[in-house]
Amino acid sequence: MKLCELMETDFYTFFNLYEIHPVNPLPSFLVFKTGGFQEYITIEIHIDEQKNINGAILILDRDWIGNANSINPFGKDIAKSFIATFIPQPVQGEFRETLLTSLWNMKGTEDTIICIDKVVKIWEDSDIEVKDFLDVYRDIKIEARKVIDGHELIMKNVNEAKKKLLKISISLIDQ
């Protein structure tokens, strides 16, 4: 995907992304913020000389997105949308779609959602690879990674500058 194509996506427009800290006319590393919740969300985009995107990182404040007890719906919305945007639909359809649906339906143990809870929980647990990513999002595990048709998806909990963060990175890899 080219940078100009990203700027035409629903992800870019819905979350009202804007670039911060422009460094030079042809940077290889761009930093974006969202229109809302700027203090909790950062997006890094890595591009080449032709402005092709070869990597993207979504950085979420861990305290804001929640944990196994309570999940912030805004956090899971941007996480799901980020993955959907940077891992193309034709790529590994089943894993991608299951992960996106699981992120969207994920809830914490103390969250009250009127739905068929037991069915959702059983369904979440049915795919161990997807469950690993959900457990990282819930701050139960440190890291999950998967290579999907030329894309590497990494979800990782980190501590940086005394702040707990969740980083979701997607990068193109050589095959």
DSSP state of 139: T
Structural domains of the chain, count: 1
Query: What rounded mean pLDDT belongs to the chain?
Result: 87
Higher-pLDDT residue of 57, 126: 57
**Residue 62 above 50 pLDDT?**
yes
Q: Which of 104, 107, 112, 106 is nearest to 83 (CA)?
A: 104
- State the Cα–Cα distance between residues 40 and 147, nearest whole angstrom: 27
* 128 in Cβ contact with 24 (< 8 Å): no
How does pLDDT run across 130-143, given as a tens digit for each residue? 999 999 999 999 99
The boundaries of the domain holding residue 105 are: 3-172
| Single pTM value for the model | 0.89
Q: Which of 129, 73, 136, 139 is nearest to 106 (CA)?
A: 73
How does pLDDT run across 86-95, given as a tens digit for each residue? 987 766 568 8
- State the Cα–Cα distance between residues 1 and 132, nearest whole angstrom: 27
Specify the residue for token string 């979440």: 124
Residue 121: beta bridge partners? none
How does pLDDT run across 77-129, given as a tens digit for each residue? 999 999 999 987 766 568 888 899 889 888 888 887 655 555 555 555 667 88
Q: How confident is the model at residue 67 (pLDDT cuts 50, 70, 90)?
A: very high
pLDDT for 53 equals 94
Q: How confident is the model at residue 175 (pLDDT cuts 50, 70, 90)?
A: very low
DSSP assignments along 104-119, one per residue:
HH---TT----S-HHH
